[in-house]
């Protein structure tokens, strides 16, 4: 996982090295350097986004990859903490990943919240997963845990066999 994150942020690292060379060449003072580093640190802290599924976007009510179905109005990525709540309404639309690969940092599902992963789809959870009842994950595709030590689940006596056969760990 660390190798993945390193390669993913390789562009940032190269940019930072170029920036440091610029500082040496132009002799920027220490106060300015401290301010710039502080700004970069604050940006990195806020890189983790929490987004909650709301669903119901016109014509794409259950589409995971539709930005209008998320509270942040952006599709989650490998730095997002995704929360899927149980919504007891007449028009409840839970997320469905029809095809492709969806990646999240953390996945949290409330009791009775549902998630659908179709045959040609995958959901990669990079860090941790908290599911109160795994029977509500309907999977014909793959659910991959890249950090299986952070898998927390409760009330799993009714786990669907199809889902269990798809749960994999890369550790």
% of the chain beyond a pLDDT of 90 = 37
Same domain, 90 and 126: yes
Same domain, 89 and 131: yes
- Looking at per-residue pLDDT, the higher value among 149 and 81 belongs to 81
Predicted pLDDT of residue 29: 67
Mean pLDDT of 95-114: 93
Question: Which pLDDT tens digit goes with each residue over 108-128?
Answer: 998 888 999 999 999 999 988
- ∠ Cα 151 107 98 (to 5°): 115
- Looking at per-residue pLDDT, the higher value among 17 and 136 belongs to 136
- C-alpha 20/C-alpha 102 separation (Å) is 35
Same domain, 24 and 56: no
Same domain, 89 and 149: yes
Number of domains in the chain: 2
Same domain, 66 and 110: yes
Could you tell me the pTM of the whole model? 0.63
Q: Is the pLDDT score of 30 beyond 80?
A: no
Same domain, 83 and 162: yes
Same domain, 57 and 36: no
- E strand intervals along the chain: 49-52, 80-84, 96-109, 115-131, 137-139, 142-145, 151-153, 167-169
Q: Which of 37-46, 142-151, 156-165 has the lowest mean pLDDT?
A: 156-165
- C-alpha 138/C-alpha 162 separation (Å) is 8
Same domain, 20 and 54: no
Same domain, 9 and 36: yes
Same domain, 103 and 26: no
Same domain, 35 and 62: no
Q: Which residues pair with 131 in a beta bridge?
A: 109, 153
Domain range for 62? 49-169
Predicted pLDDT of residue 153: 46
Same domain, 57 and 101: yes
């Amino acid at each position: 996982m660390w190798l993945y994150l390193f390669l993913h942020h390789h562009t940032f690292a190269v940019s930072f090295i170029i920036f440091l060379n610029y500082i040496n060449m132009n002799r920027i003072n220490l106060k300015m350097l401290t301010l710039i580093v502080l700004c970069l640190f604050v940006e990195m802290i806020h890189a983790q986004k929490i987004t909650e599924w709301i669903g119901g976007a016109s014509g794409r009510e259950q589409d995971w990859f539709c930005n209008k179905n998320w509270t942040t109005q952006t599709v989650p990525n490998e730095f997002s903490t995704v929360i899927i709540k149980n919504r007891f309404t007449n028009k409840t639309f839970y997320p469905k990943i029809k095809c492709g690969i969806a990646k999240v940092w953390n996945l949290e599902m409330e009791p009775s919240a549902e998630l659908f992963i179709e045959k040609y789809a995958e959901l990669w959870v990079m860090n941790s997963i908290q599911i109160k009842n795994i029977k509500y994950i309907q999977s014909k595709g793959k659910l991959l845990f890249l950090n299986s030590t952070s898998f927390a689940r409760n009330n799993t006596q009714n786990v669907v066999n199809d889902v269990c056969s798809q749960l994999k760990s890369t550790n």
